[in-house]
Amino acid sequence: MKRFFTILICKLLRFVGGLLGKGSSLPGQVALKLCPDILSRVELPEYIIAVTGSNGKTSTVEMIAHILQKNGKTVAWNREGSNQIEGVTTLVLSSATLGGKVRSDVLLIESDERFARYTFRYIKPTHYVITNLYRDQLTRNGHPEWVYDAIADSIHDGTRLILNADDPLVSRFGAGKEDVIWFGADRLSSDTDTLESAYNDGAYCPVCKAPMTYSSYHYNHIGHFACTKCGYKRHDTDYAITAVDLDRGVMEIDGKYRISLALKSLYNIYNILAAYTVARVVGVDGEKIAAEMGDYVLKNGRVITFTLGKRKGTLLTSKHENSISYDQSLRVARDYKEGCDVLIIVDAVSRKYFTSDVSWLWDIDFDMLDSPNVGEIVLAGKYVNDLAARFDYTGIPKDRIKLFADIPEAVDHLENGGERYIYAITCFSDKAKFLARVKEDQ
Amino acid sequence: MKLLHLYHDIMNLYGDYANVLAMQRILQNSGETVEVDKLSLGCEARLDQYDFIFIGSGTERNQKVVLEDIRRFRDDLKRCMDGGKVMLFTGNSFELLGKTVTDADGRVYDGLGLFGFTSEEQNKTRMTADAVFGCGFLDSELVGFVNKCSRCRGIEEPLFEVKLGLGNCDNDKGEGVRAENLFGTHLTGPVLMKNPHFLIYLASLILNRAPSEDGMEFVKAGFEVTLSELKKRMEKENN
Ligand SMILES: [Zn+2]
């Protein structure tokens, strides 16, 4: 009876909340108050797939849902912004019958890496995807090893891990486990022999802290690593990116499936690989996955093309306080052979909490913009001085850099400044201030 | 002049390396030729030949690895400290200088014992906060960020006075530690880049004269913006 009422109330609150345009965590919060163990009282589907990690989980989850739904599976999944226990509770209960049975084939959960330990106390995933662990929102998260420990607490016996073999810290979750499913990239034509990053989180072995060596770097410290002492090294993969041509926008998975890319970044190909891996595990044919992923454009608004006067451009939503996310965006601009100008905005460090910390700017490899493909660099926002100080320590000539504390002024400057393509790089917290001044392409 | 960035690859968690860049730049702008050595675990080093020594923040595990390695420098560091060498320790690197560090499992590690304080880590809550610190020897406050999981007890002469943020432990108004020209603080990251007046002060100790302030416009303006943001925050919290 208690279960019936809790589910009913959750559904009602969700319905009312939907009408009011409210977020989806409140109904779950109320449900947990009414019945703290409600999640263990519902009947869950055969596949419960959780996705966590520093970067790309929202995109990965969206792609998994897309592939599975296109292949006839029903999927209950949480969209952006509701990945803590309350949001997951709302998701589960609103997908359940009043009798307490979740009606979909797959329950797909994007989980906040710090809170997974609470969420998975009641819902044990059948499969748990961990995409990567980077320096991400360190003002709240501490550091990657701190997050590692938090995620380790959320892994329970009976859950199969699906891990990124190229991330040395993530791979450690698989130590001593026989049934891990590994995904990763073979040596790619875009790989480098030396590290390209402002810092090196792959310098030391996560297990024994002896120095590590790499036979290949995909990007930053992601690649083919091996400890010089304890034998810890990159694991062989079950599902792999076998080739990639970012210029032509094509990737190849498992030596046979070619997928054309709407977004030509290494990031994107890892998210696609993670989604492919999950779909294979659920039983979807590789050919069908490739067909669904070809030219797939994310719906979550991370990448937006726009028009500004006579100029065209792309907004690459990156994450403040997350240097690898910035590096990925900078790499796209650096490699744009037709030539581009770049706009970078740091105005509010976060939209969810207050901090004025800009230490993370020093972890971003802005020297990448010292490229013949990049023309003018426009820096804007409240923290423009900190950006300028950071660029002062790159090799980029000063006369190529323009500074504006005021974002509209920066956009006006770009509108009247030539015809090159524009890459705008900023965070969720600041992108609306930019988008308000340009015309989004439909 | 010679600068030493010690444990540059293992204690560099929040952009701490930029402190060495800032010091190198100000000394060069003041007419000095500057050499920077970046050394790490197992490297030979003669500490007395450097004009400035810096160690940054690391993960709790990395700090323990460094603690084992740095023991061989214990007496050298003590001599450097007593001799007035300018040294800066940011984040949990300054815990190395105390009597003991206790990890979250209760395991006790001997520190270098240059100071009598003890540090105790826990693994439940990360203690993080924006910071505004008062400082007796500077005209203006310092800004920055503290990111730690430890409490330091037994520091009688702290470096800073907490106006916003976290002190050495609990409600302690004191933060960091100082002896002679050795400065230790839980402020993380590019402390000298964010606080040009602190950089100028340390450079003047190294040079024995006022350094050049050329080319510091951006860092000075950046400092003012951050300080005003944090002061707004303090007013909000006080109301
Ligand atoms: Zn090892």
User: What CATH number does the domain containing A65 carry?
Assistant: 3.40.1190.10
E strand map for chain B:
2-6, 35-39, 52-55, 86-90, 100-102, 108-110, 118-121, 127-134, 142-148, 150-153, 160-164, 174-175, 177-179, 182-185
One domain for residues A176 and A253: yes
Please report where in the chains the tokens 């409210």 appear, as a residue. Answer: A22
Considering the domain boundaries, does residue A15 fall inside one? yes
Q: Are residues A53 and A119 in the same domain?
A: yes
- Angle A50-A56-A61 from CA coordinates, rounded to 5°: 40
Same domain, A401 and A279: no
Q: Is residue A64 a part of any domain in this protein?
A: yes
Q: What Å distances lie between residue A335 and A223, A340, A370, A418, CA to CA?
A: 20, 10, 11, 20
* The amino acid at A302: R
ipTM: 0.97
| Chain A nearest C-alpha distance from B124 (Å) | 9
For residues B163-184, average pLDDT: 95
Residue A298 lies in a domain: no
Degrees to nearest 5, angle at CA A395 with A391 and A401: 45
Please, which residues bridge with residue B120 across strands?
A: B102, B151
Q: Are residues A246 and A347 in the same domain?
A: no
Within a domain: residue A171? Answer: yes
Q: Is A389 near chain B, with CB under 8 Å?
A: yes
| A430 shares its domain with A356 | yes
- The tally of domains found in chain B comes to 1
Q: How far is A133 from chain B (nearest CA, A)?
A: 14
Identify the pLDDT of residue A396: 97
**What pLDDT, on a 0 to 100 scale, did the predictor assign at position A81?**
54
| Interface with chain B: mutation pick from A323, A362, A363, highest number of B CBs within 10 Å | A362
pLDDT in tens, A302-347: 889 999 999 999 999 999 999 999 999 999 999 999 999 999 999 9
- The pLDDT mean for chain A works out to 93
Over residues A63-112, the pLDDT tens digits come to 999 999 999 999 998 865 567 888 888 888 888 999 889 989 999 999 88
* Residue (of A181, A75, A49) closest to A127 by Cα position: A49
Instruction: Output the six-digit token pair for A434.
Output: 């930019």
User: Which residue carries 């907004």 as its tokens?
Assistant: A315
CA of B19 to the centre of ligand 1 (A): 30
Position B11 pLDDT exceeds 60:
yes
Mark whether A330 and A422 lie in a shared domain.
yes
In this complex, is the C-beta atom of B221 within 8 Å of any C-beta atom belonging to chain A?
A: yes
- Strand B160-164 and strand B127-134: the pairing is antiparallel
Tokens of A254: 């498992």
CATH number at residue A336: 3.90.190.20
The band of A21, judged by pLDDT with boundaries at 50, 70 and 90, is: low
Distance from CA of A393 to the nearest CA of B (A): 8
What's the distance, Cα to Cα, between the start and end of chain A in Å? 48
- C-alpha–C-alpha distance, residues A332 and A261, integer Å: 13
Q: Report helix, strand or coil for A210.
A: coil
Phi, psi (rounded to 5 degrees) for B91: 60, -150
CA dihedral A83, A85, A88, A93 (to 10 degrees): -160
CB atoms within 10 A of CB B116: 12
Together in a domain, A269 and A327? no
Asked if residue A281 and residue A337 are part of one domain, the reply reads: no
Q: Which pLDDT band, with edges at 50, 70 and 90, does A264 fall under?
A: confident
Alpha carbon distance B175, B151 (integer Å)? 11
Q: Highest mean pLDDT range out of A3-17, A259-273, B205-219? A: B205-219
At A122 the pLDDT is: 81
Has residue A395 been placed in a domain?
yes
CA distance A64 to A284: 11
Q: Write the single-letter amino acid at A303.
A: V
Angle at which helices A266-282 and A57-70 cross, to 10°: 40
Choose among A200, A361, A385: nearest Cβ to B225.
Answer: A385
Least-confidence region, from A116-130, A378-392, B216-230: A116-130
Chain B interface test: which of A200, A386, A398, A403 (most B C-beta within 10 Å): A386
B190 vs A contacts (CB less than 8 Å): 359, 362
The CA distance from B218 to the nearest CA of chain A, in Å, is 5
Q: Which of A7-16, A19-28, A63-72, A185-194 has the lowest mean pLDDT?
A: A19-28
pLDDT above 90: percentage of residues in chain B:
96
Check pLDDT > 90 for residue A120. no
Average pLDDT over residues B144-149: 97
Q: Please, what is the Cα angle at B46 between B41 and B49, to 5 degrees? A: 135
Of all helices (H) and strands (E), which one includes residue A241? strand A239-245
Residue A439, sorted as left (phi over 0), alpha (psi -120 to 50) or beta, turns out to be beta
Q: How far apart are CA A115 and CA A93, in angstroms?
A: 19
A388–B218 C-beta distance less than 8 A: yes
User: Exposed, middle or buried: residue B49 (CB in 10 Å: 0-12, 13-18, 19+)?
Assistant: exposed
Co-location of A255 and A142 in the same domain: yes
Answer yes or no: do B62 and A209 touch at CB < 8 A.
yes
Q: Does A324 lie in the same domain as A275?
A: no
State in Å: Cα A172 to ligand 1 middle. 11
User: Residue B68 sits in a domain of what CATH number?
Assistant: 3.40.50.880
Q: Which of residues 32-51 of B touch A (CB under 8 A)?
A: none
Instruction: For chain B, report the end-to-end CA distance as a whole number of angstroms.
Output: 49
Neighbouring residues of A407: CB distance < 8 A, sequence distance ≥ 6: A345, A347, A380, A381, A430, A433, A434, A437
A215 domain-assigned: no
Q: Select from B145, B148, B149, B236 the residue whose CB has the most chain A CBs within 10 Å, as the one to mutate to test that interface.
A: B145
Q: For A334, list phi and psi in degrees, rounded to 5.
A: -55, -40
Q: Biggest alpha carbon distance in chain B? A: 54
In this structure, are residues A273 and A253 in contact, taking their beta carbons and an 8 Å threshold? yes
Strand-by-strand arrangement of the B174-175 sheet: B142-148, B127-134, B160-164, B174-175
Q: Can you spell out the DSSP letters for B162-221?
A: EEES--SSTT-SEESEEETTEEEESB-S-HHHH-HHHHHHHHHHHHTSPPP-TT-HHHHH
Do residues A259 and A328 both lie within one domain?
Answer: no
State which residues form the domain around A345: 303-440
Cβ of B62 within 8 Å of Cβ of A383? The answer is no
Structure tokens at A8: 């009913």
Q: How confident is the model at residue B208 (pLDDT cuts 50, 70, 90)?
A: very high
Q: d(Cα A210, Cα B188) in Å, to the nearest integer?
A: 25
Co-location of A40 and A118 in the same domain: yes
What whole-number distance in Å separates Cα of residue A183 and Cα of residue A190?
Answer: 18
Last residue in a domain, options A226, A259, A293: A293
pTM of the model: 0.95
Confirm whether A122 is domain-assigned.
yes
Sheet with B86-90: strands ordered across: B35-39, B2-6, B52-55, B86-90, B182-185, B177-179
- Taking only the tens place, the pLDDT of each residue in A280-297 is 999 999 999 999 998 888
Which structural domain, as residue segments, surrounds residue B35?
2-238
In a domain, residue A227? The reply is no
**Model confidence over B63-109: pLDDT tens digits?**
999 999 999 999 999 999 999 999 999 999 999 999 999 999 999 99
Q: What is the mean pLDDT of chain B?
A: 97
- The residue with greater pLDDT, A442 or B199, is B199
| A126-155 confidence digits (pLDDT tens) | 999 999 999 999 999 999 999 999 999 999
- Count: domains in chain A: 2
Give the separation between CA A322 and CA A318, rounded to whole angstroms. 8
Residue A128, classed as helix, strand or coil, is strand
pLDDT at A265: 84
